[in-house]
Structure 1
């Protein structure tokens, strides 16, 4: 694909026949919320409105509505001098976040204009500091609410996660922080046992019993909260933003590095879906994973190598 062009999804349409959309969250440093909001309007048009304190909303841009804010739980607290002081103190390590509404492929490409403008203005990414750990989160609309359309991408991700992390490593700062932990091997083993034709309720039960956490490269809790809110509410103490989308947290934000683009990070998810919709490859990976893993997994590196070899043989990746 040409630079800054987004590879179409293998299944580009939702159940109603409309294009599947992708919401994007970009974490960055080096600029204030006001500066980021101004760059958004300069690049994408629209008007910026300041909300409660350092929180901004951009309306009527080329890609719709955007929100810009300091990504910290205190942003939801009632405005006070103490809150605003705490926000100021956290600026050195807490990212500014840009959140888009769900975008089509043309909207994703327009978003690249914004990342280039932010880079020129001095935006910083994960590589600029050990404690930054900034990412790009992709909220990819599910193809449908059918069980298989949720389970197959989850299983595909679980099977190739170790290879993705080895083949295209995320920044060291993000590996050290607990926001994108790999799936536990017991979860992968359980997903394989249930299989791609499993009932979604059984997959949710397994997932919530083994890893009821938001802090994974693929966070399934928003989908589960959308499809079965009472089930998630019973298991978790805090709220989960329910939406019919895979919350893919693995991609890096290296916005200050020349040549980096969201389009490149998007390829990680494209690989997940390509594997998900190749039934023979999905079955082969599941069988090989089971063969490779004993009762206790001492190292994930061996499976990463074997997974890469299988994907190469299947024509999914170059050697």
Structure 2
């Protein structure tokens, strides 16, 4: 796993475990292009018609991969007073990303989206590392394989145990590391995940909301909770606007759209590794036990943990198996 960023394929999408029929919505934030030009490139690459939905929003309808929204990122746009929006818009474009958002896509459609990503790059789209503290990212909304507490617990635990490994390498730009949008899970939450070999849905929801009453996590489960228990989520977080969907909201990846060796396939395949770890019972048991021992030792620090995970995953042969499948 130490050389995961080097060995995973960048030109093809690896299948998920239990992947038949599962879909994934994709959100990509980038700069360098206006919304209208980005929409035109998407329509030229993927087909479809462009509809103007406002000053800064367009929709590509009837494309090869369905409807695609293209807009100036609303998380930032809504902070600008509408009375001065027009005056500030051109200035804002230097720091506010354009975002494209797809509908949930079948696995077979992901390479087509990656082709559109390449076309955007050629047209001048820029990513996270094109300026100081931009923090632009890619979000994957990966459909649940099962709407069960056991499945959600296993995948969330696998991600929590591997998060430090991802952050230990140059996979996450400094601007996203120090920003609030992709914070790691609290260590106390990881402790609780590792202690809970089995859990029912009610207890899992209680546990998650106790430690993560925020959308700003690298793996955000709030959309899942809004889908499964909307009343509980509304009561716990009445001021949050959360779109309910049965999907993991994986928020961590950078957008490096302007870098020749980056692709959506690479970020997707990193998520596939998480799910493959979650599906490996023996490896999960080892990692869970290792975490408990790591936390109980007086001679370890958090920076030691990535080496432990790397050793276990390398010993399992999981990465070699994945790379072999991709050959």
| TM-score after normalising by structure 2 | 0.90
Partner Cα distance (1:88, 1:214) in 2: 29
Could you tell me how far 1:300 is from its partner in structure 2? Answer: 1.9
Which stretches in structure 1 are left out of the alignment for 5+ residues? Answer: 14-18
Q: Does 1:130 align with 2:137?
A: no
Q: Which moved more, 1:298-307 or 1:233-242?
A: 298-307
Q: Does 1:184 align with 2:179?
A: no
Which structure is higher in RCO with an 8 Å CA cutoff and minimum separation 6? 2
Match of 1:5 in 2: 12
2:240 to 238, 249, 253: 238
2:94 to 92, 95, 115: 92
2:38 to 36, 44, 47: 36
Q: Secondary structure at the match of 1:286?
A: helix
Match of 1:26 in 2: 28
Partner Cα distance (1:220, 1:214) in 2: 8
RMSD (Å), alpha carbons: 2.1
Partner Cα distance (2:205, 2:88) in 1: 37
In structure 2, relative to structure 1, the CA distance for the partners of 1:186 and 1:248 (3 Å cut) is same
Match of 1:198 in 2: 199
In structure 2, relative to structure 1, the CA distance for the partners of 1:78 and 1:135 (3 Å cut) is closer
Could you tell me how far 1:308 is from its partner in structure 2? Answer: 0.7
Could you tell me how far 1:44 is from its partner in structure 2? Answer: 0.7
**1:129–1:173 Cα contact (<8 Å) kept:** no
In structure 2, relative to structure 1, the CA distance for the partners of 1:169 and 1:2 (3 Å cut) is closer
In structure 2, relative to structure 1, the CA distance for the partners of 1:155 and 1:44 (3 Å cut) is same
Partner Cα distance (2:72, 2:186) in 1: 31
Could you tell me how far 1:296 is from its partner in structure 2? Answer: 8.9
2:165 to 141, 163, 169: 163
Q: Secondary structure at the match of 1:230?
A: helix
Match of 1:253 in 2: 255
Match of 2:5 in 1: none
In structure 2, relative to structure 1, the CA distance for the partners of 1:77 and 1:84 (3 Å cut) is farther
Q: Does 1:220 align with 2:209?
A: no
| TM-score after normalising by structure 1 | 0.92
Match of 1:50 in 2: 52
**2:171–2:254 Cα contact (<8 Å) kept:** no
**1:164–1:268 Cα contact (<8 Å) kept:** no
In structure 2, relative to structure 1, the CA distance for the partners of 1:298 and 1:306 (3 Å cut) is closer
Could you tell me how far 1:88 is from its partner in structure 2? Answer: 4.0
**1:70–1:96 Cα contact (<8 Å) kept:** yes
Q: Secondary structure at the match of 2:276?
A: helix
Q: Secondary structure at the match of 2:206?
A: helix
Q: Secondary structure at the match of 1:317?
A: helix
In structure 2, relative to structure 1, the CA distance for the partners of 1:79 and 1:53 (3 Å cut) is farther
Q: Secondary structure at the match of 2:296?
A: coil
Could you tell me how far 1:76 is from its partner in structure 2? Answer: 6.1
Partner Cα distance (2:81, 2:294) in 1: 54
Could you tell me how far 1:56 is from its partner in structure 2? Answer: 0.5
**1:53–1:84 Cα contact (<8 Å) kept:** no
Match of 2:281 in 1: 279
